[in-house]
Amino acid sequence: MSKFPVTESTLSSHHLGQFFKEKYSLGPETQCRLFKTGMNHSYLVNEGANKFIFRVYTLGWRSKTAISEELRLLSHLKENHISVAYPLSDSHGDYIMQFEAPEGLRYGVLFSYAEGEKISKFSAMASYNVGVAMARMHELTEGFFLDRVTYDSQVLLINSSKQTRDFFTKQTEETLFVQQLSDYLVGEYEKINWNSVRKGSVHLDIWFDNLHISRQEKITIFDFDFCGNGWLCIDIAYFLFQLYNTNQGENECEPKERSFMEGYESVIKLTEEEKRIIPITGLGIFLFYLGKQCQTYDTWSNVFLNDDHLKRFLGQLKRWIAYNKVPFNIS
């Protein structure tokens, strides 16, 4: 009987542990365990006191070129003393591993382990330090372009709203809102003075879940899986949107928001146009991620993506619109 095709498999932690000992010359005490599944699969690798993260990319999620460009960006940042989780080569100098999984060829990369821990409700001082870290990163990524996706209106808004409407096929108040908001933002993006907005490579996913904070509140950024080209201020917009979502209430959010902006502008002064467009670019990024949730239903989002999730998700966008006084009718 022939083997039945699969959408996604999970590589054996035990056999990966043996693989690391051979390919990376790690010690005999090396252990590997599955850390989490998602858009990609992550494994925690322990070699005594040393820890690493091994990411296995989902089939078809990223091309080998796209992964190579992600690693090129990380190497650029590390070489310039930005604290990031960086790629590690095997004993032959290779960074990208290949696995013939049941569903097809999958790629894997070993990364250093980020110092510190995830803290969802971090201090205002830590928020300041995140701002400094992001600005220092942007100093190096301005004008540094990748052979990857460019985040523009087509990608963030038009394609994403179509993905959402194709998934939620029944026309409802929520799907109508997605289309109307997308159309509104397309029009607003066309009004932006892009000569006053810095461009380069962006992370697009900096929030508490993708950074570690040490006891000394040093910031290490990781998970550059969504890196690409775009306006640098969209990293700021995404971080502030997530800060607002995880710190409800003006008394909790605003001091951290001010600290973050002070930290960023202690390194780079934002233009007035960049400050103006933060609310609308934040909305665009979240429409993009809603589309990605719809796109990855088979391999990741099926445990939560439903009509109730869509209502809650759009509720976050509506609160952000009200908080920032964006002139869009949310009735």
Domain holding 193: CATH number?
Answer: 3.90.1200.10
CB neighbour list of residue 193: distance below 8 Å, 6 or more residues apart: 273
Query: End of a domain among 89, 112, 135?
Result: 112
Integer-rounded Cα radius of gyration of the chain: 20
pTM reported for the whole predicted model: 0.96
* DSSP H stretches of helix in the chain: 13-23, 64-79, 124-141, 153, 160-167, 173-190, 233-246, 250-265, 272-295, 307-323
Tally of domains within the chain: 2
Q: pLDDT 10s digit of each residue in the chain, 331 long?
A: 688 999 999 999 999 999 999 999 999 999 999 999 999 999 999 999 999 999 999 999 999 999 999 999 999 999 999 999 999 999 999 999 999 999 999 999 999 999 999 998 899 999 999 999 999 999 999 999 999 999 999 999 999 999 999 999 999 999 999 999 999 999 999 999 999 999 999 999 999 999 999 988 899 999 999 999 999 999 999 999 999 999 976 688 999 999 999 999 999 999 999 999 999 999 999 999 999 999 999 999 999 999 999 999 999 999 999 999 999 986 5
Question: Three-state SS for 289?
Answer: helix
CATH of the domain at 108: 3.30.200.20
* Residue 79 CB coordination number (10 Å): 10
Q: 328 lies in a domain?
A: no
Report the C-alpha gap between 123 and 256 in whole angstroms.
7
Based on the domain organization, do 140 and 177 belong to the same domain?
yes
Do residues 150 and 230 lie in contact, with contact meaning Cβ atoms separated by under 8 Å?
Answer: yes
For the stretch 128-163, what's the b/e string if a residue is b when 16 or more beta carbons lie within 10 angstroms of its beta carbon? Answer: bbbbbbbbbbbebbeeebbebeebebebbbbbbbeb
Q: 329 lies in a domain?
A: no
What is the residue range of 274's domain? Answer: 124-323
Report the C-alpha gap between 231 and 152 in whole angstroms.
9
Based on the domain organization, do 143 and 288 belong to the same domain?
yes
